[in-house]
Amino acid sequence: MQRTLAPKVSGWSVMLAWSAACTGGGGAQRPAASVAREPFGTTDQGAAVNVYTLKNAHGMEVRATSYGGIILSLKVPDRNGRFDDVVLGYDSLSDYQRASPYFGAIIGRYGNRIAGGRFTLDGRTYTLARNNGPNHLHGGLKGFDKVVWDVAPFEHPDSVGLVFRYRSPDGEEGYPGTLQATVTYTLTDRNELIFDYLGTTDRATPVNLTQHSYFNLAGDGKGDILGHVVTLNADHFTPVDSTLIPTGEIRAVAGTPFDFRTPTAIGARIAQDDEQLRYGRGYDHNFVLNKGGTGGSPGEGAALTLAARVYEPSTGRVMEIYTTEPGMQFYTGNFLDGTLRGKHGVVYRHRYGFAMETQHFPDTPNKPDFPSTTLHPGEQYRSQTIYKFAVQP
């Protein structure tokens, strides 16, 4: 699926706003979609960071920062039209810099784990930080979640958005090649938040970009997420060892607590005595999405298909996820333990949020049978994920 990515900004300074009525929508005047920028502080290293507020014509609002591309808040309506922030996070930049379990951030250069922090590519072995027990996780000590991105806002007749750009130098966090990464967030008037990922490199390198928002569709801080009803379009998942590295097996979900092919509450089976649930301390697994035969290697231009649907019964909020990626890590906030204090002083207790990280499979650089994550010079890494919000009675 192709979309126009070129930012369409001219003379942008502090605020852009327009009325949908001006764009030929006709009929009753709708609220203006807009994008605005404010300072969000300075990093410990002295870099200035901004926060951008996107609003669509229905009042849906996304706030995101140039630090890590972090989505700070995401306001969507419930079945009565009441808006709540449905993502976890912090109020201040210093909180994100101090200790964040990747709240809302862009993840790269390689989302998820690489076993032993090592891989071999074109006959050469690369050593990466072991920042998660014996393994490498989410790009290392200073992954794409902790860098300051260049941001260019844009406006289109039926959407607003932000283009994030980052040049990851050759050797950064141990990875080969200079990677030019571009991630576009688009908020549409169809209540979709679209993520487009592009990348190019000057040497072969593994690339696996994703977004790590934690959701609670009842509202941030409104209890655990065990009552959310999840449907996953996945007949298989990749079982893991005790350090959450895939064994290489592609296992059928049928007859296991990983079968979400029909709508099932997250909490319905999470406490079952199951080895995989023990290893993950709950769900923290990559699901192999049913793609109808399409591949999904970098540069291949895979099809956009439904990955997941989540329904929160008390508010009626629904989130659907569509992606070109072959996999999705479903993580149920098992490591949240009440030690982090988030926005407005909310304490994030066990399973107060879940993440659905669309991705290639974990540890692919060491798993030749998994769909490839190697990006070569001359190829374009290209990936798209859509979070679509709606309500249900």
Write out the residues near ligand GLA by the rule CB under 6 A.
101-102, 112, 137, 244, 284, 329, 331, 335, 355, 357
Dihedrals phi, psi of 159, to nearest 5 degrees: -165, 160
Least separation in angstroms between residue 114's CB and ligand GLA is: 12
Residue with Cβ nearer ligand GLA (102 or 322): 102
Q: DSSP label at 29?
A: P
Tokens of 296: 């999904």
Cα–Cα distance, 101 to 86 (Å, whole number): 17
d(CA 164, CA 187): 14
CA geometry: angle at 357 spanning 353 and 358, to 5°? 150
Nearer to ligand GLA, 355 or 386 (CB): 355
> 124, 372 in Cβ contact below 8 A?
no
Question: By C-beta, is 244 or 308 nearer to ligand GLA?
Answer: 244
**Is residue 175 within 8 Å of residue 110, measured between CB atoms?**
yes
Of 77 and 221, which has the nearer Cβ to ligand GLA?
221
CB of 175 to ligand GLA, least distance (A): 19
Smallest gap from Cβ 161 to ligand GLA, in A, equals 25
Of 54 and 105, the one with the shorter C-beta distance to ligand GLA is 105
Is 212 a known active-site residue? yes
| Nearest-CB residue for ligand GLA | 331
Q: How far is the CB of 191 from ligand GLA (least distance, A)?
A: 25
Question: CB of 255: closest distance to ligand GLA in angstroms?
Answer: 24
136, 325, 357, 360: the catalytic one is 357
Q: Is 348 exposed, middle or buried (0-12, 13-18, 19+ CB in 10 A)?
A: buried
Phi/psi for 276 (5° steps) reads -65, -40
The pair of structure tokens assigned to 300 is 């291949």
Q: Which of 212, 228, 285, 360 is catalytic?
A: 212
Q: Give the helix/strand (H/E) hosting 356.
A: strand 355-359
What is the nearest approach in angstroms of ligand GLA to the Cβ of residue 111? 8
| DSSP per residue, 230-268 | EEE--SEEE-B-TTS-B-S--EE-TTSTT--SS-EEGGG
Phi–psi pair at 41, nearest 5 degrees: 110, -165
357 catalytic? Reply is: yes
Q: Which is nearer to ligand GLA, 77 or 280 (CB)?
A: 280
The smaller minimum CB distance to ligand GLA, of residues 101 and 143, is found at: 101
Q: CB 126 → ligand GLA: shortest distance, Å?
A: 21
Cβ atoms within 10 Å, residue 27: 7
Distances in Å between the alpha carbon of 117 and those of 137, 191, 234, 367? 8, 39, 28, 14
Closest CA relative to residue 77, chosen from 93, 53, 52, 56? 56
Catalytic residues: 212, 357
